[in-house]
Amino acid sequence: MTSRTLGIYGTGGCGRSVMPVARTQFPDDRLVFVDDAPNAKQCNGAEVLSFDDFAKIDGGLITIAISQPAIRKILAYKCTAAGLGFYDILANDLIVMDDASWKSGAIISPRSTIGSNVTIGRHFHCNLHSYVEHDCVIGDFVTFAPGVCCNGSVTIGDGAYIGAAASIRQGIWIGQGAVVGMGAVVVKDVPAGAIVAGNPARSLTS
């Protein structure tokens, strides 16, 4: 099998945490960091390429290790315009139950679970020790920080950010671009663009 070049876009904390997961998943491929303005040739032992140099590689694939949904969306369109394809980084201990699916560009970290009949959009980030339970529908460019508990039949709109250790009650709807704060306990629907925090979660934007 011919070795491929796989890029991880971003040398920040997200990218550096993802690289070891990618090495385990793709031991025979060349894994590099991609940065718009690299200030070093290496990061944590991996080569760092500029975006322009990476885009010249024939058959190069990339995933975007930037936790902020809005920035990830901008960079995804940039990558598509440059003709780059996307790939998923999936932890080797990821548990995926029946009839679950997600679109390209996902990063799913160790100790995570995707439940049965879950549908997930493009460029999903699911950080350490998080789960998505049965029958959830999750949009594009959604981020789960570590330890998110997303219970069954939850709907989450595009570009939402769910903070570390947040818990979402079954059947809740979270709107596009909403932010759920760290440790929040979400027991009511969250409007698009709202910021909520606390137990129970309350709006910080009204």
pLDDT at 79: 97
pLDDT at 39: 87
Catalytic residue among 123, 125, 129, 134: 134
pLDDT at 1: 57
Domain shared by 41 and 122, yes or no = no
Q: How far apart are CA 16 and CA 12, in angstroms?
A: 6
Domain shared by 138 and 60, yes or no = no
Asked if pLDDT for residue 144 goes beyond 70, the answer is yes
Q: How far apart are CA 28 and CA 147, in angstroms?
A: 31
Kindly state whether residue 103 falls inside one of the protein's structural domains. yes
Query: Cα–chain-centroid distance for residue 102?
Result: 11
Domain shared by 120 and 26, yes or no = no
The two structure tokens encoding residue 63: 């995933």
pLDDT at 205: 77
Q: Give the strand order in the sheet containing 89-90.
A: 89-90, 107-108, 125-126, 143-144, 161-162, 179-180, 195-197, 202-203
CATH number of the domain to which 179 belongs: 2.160.10.10
Domain shared by 25 and 110, yes or no = no
The two structure tokens encoding residue 82: 């440059």
The chain-wide mean pLDDT, for the chain, equals: 96
Q: How far apart are CA 127 and CA 114, in angstroms?
A: 12
Q: Name the residue among 46, 21, 20 with its Cα closest to residue 35.
A: 46
Domain shared by 99 and 15, yes or no = no
pLDDT at 157: 98
The average pLDDT across 60-70 equals 97
Domain shared by 186 and 97, yes or no = yes
Q: Is 134 a catalytic residue?
A: yes
Q: What is the pTM of this model?
A: 0.96
Kindly state whether residue 22 falls inside one of the protein's structural domains. yes
Asked if pLDDT for residue 183 goes beyond 60, the answer is yes
Kindly state whether residue 35 falls inside one of the protein's structural domains. yes
Q: Count up the domains in the chain and report the number.
A: 2
Which pLDDT band, with edges at 50, 70 and 90, does 128 fall under?
very high
Domain shared by 103 and 73, yes or no = no
Print the domain residue range for 77. Answer: 5-87
Q: Which residues contact 96 (CB under 8 A, 6 or more apart)?
A: 113, 114
Domain shared by 100 and 173, yes or no = yes
Q: How far apart are CA 57 and CA 183, in angstroms?
A: 42
pLDDT at 96: 98
CB of 117 closer than 8 Å to CB of 98? yes
